[in-house]
Amino acid sequence: MKISTNTKLIKRNARIGQITSLTALGILAAGMYITFKNPAAVGYSLGALIAGFFLSQIGMYYGNRWGRSPRPDELIDKGLKGLGREFTIYHYSTPIPHFLLGPSGLWVLLHYYQGGSISYINKRWRQKGGGLIQGYLKLFGQENIGRPEFESVAQIDSLKKYFNKKLPDIEIPEIHGVALFSNPNAELELTEAPLPAMKPKEFKELLKQNSKDKILPQSTLKAIQDLLPKADSESVKESAS
């Protein structure tokens, strides 16, 4: 599997997370100092605490997504390791975060690291359990599952517009979406989900089976590959087992 990753974007956003977090700590410390030094200036201290809390949330968001390893792109690469060289995955180098291109078609990949029991009941995605670490991450900055089916549609539309603009003479086939849950402690009960959802290794096996059908014409595959950034690395193929 070939991999194209926008490392400049990752480093920039990781740096933003660090600076924002440090700034938030400074503002929170200033707010506490004002509170103890001049209790009458409650307006200034309250404003500093609110601003510091707001910036800390931004810092945690950027830190969790860009500054902590393994990052989402690294977890996806690990889960899909072993796909053939005819597949190329693009991280942050297209209009969407994670895009997979191969003979079995075009895929929008939505990544989630939530653990515990993940289910879809009464038109809602639900998460239960996951242990103390999962509870800590959920309390401090980890995103909720939200509505993957809507996010998938939005990313697919964005990708379609991009390809239609850049490749007006190429007929772009249907773009598929999938939700990938990379947490080894996740237990998925998503047979009724409106969007395909599975572990990365399960998705890898699905791709291997579908790649035999050669859904995507070679001319279309090459046109898209020529448009997008070249792969900067290649995963090592797993030994047959």
Residues 6 or more apart in contact with residue 180 via CB below 8 angstroms: 76, 79, 109, 110, 111, 112, 197, 198, 199, 200, 203
120/112 Cα distance (integer angstroms): 15
Rg, Å, the chain Cα set: 21
- Write down the pTM of the prediction: 0.84
Question: What pLDDT does residue 130 have?
Answer: 54
Question: What pLDDT does residue 143 have?
Answer: 65
- pLDDT tens string, the chain, 241 residues long: the values are 999 999 999 999 999 999 999 999 999 999 888 888 888 888 888 898 899 999 999 998 888 888 888 999 999 999 999 888 889 999 999 999 999 999 888 999 999 999 899 999 988 999 987 554 444 455 454 568 899 999 999 999 999 999 999 999 999 999 999 999 999 999 999 988 999 999 999 999 988 887 666 678 888 999 999 999 988 776 644 333 2
Q: Percent of the chain beyond pLDDT 70?
A: 89
Question: What pLDDT does residue 213 have?
Answer: 66
CB 69 within 8 A of CB 20: no
183/195 Cα distance (integer angstroms): 18
Residues 6 or more apart in contact with residue 80 via CB below 8 angstroms: 1, 87, 89, 100, 200, 203, 204, 207, 235
148/158 Cα distance (integer angstroms): 15
CB 132 within 8 A of CB 115: no
**171 three-state secondary structure:** coil
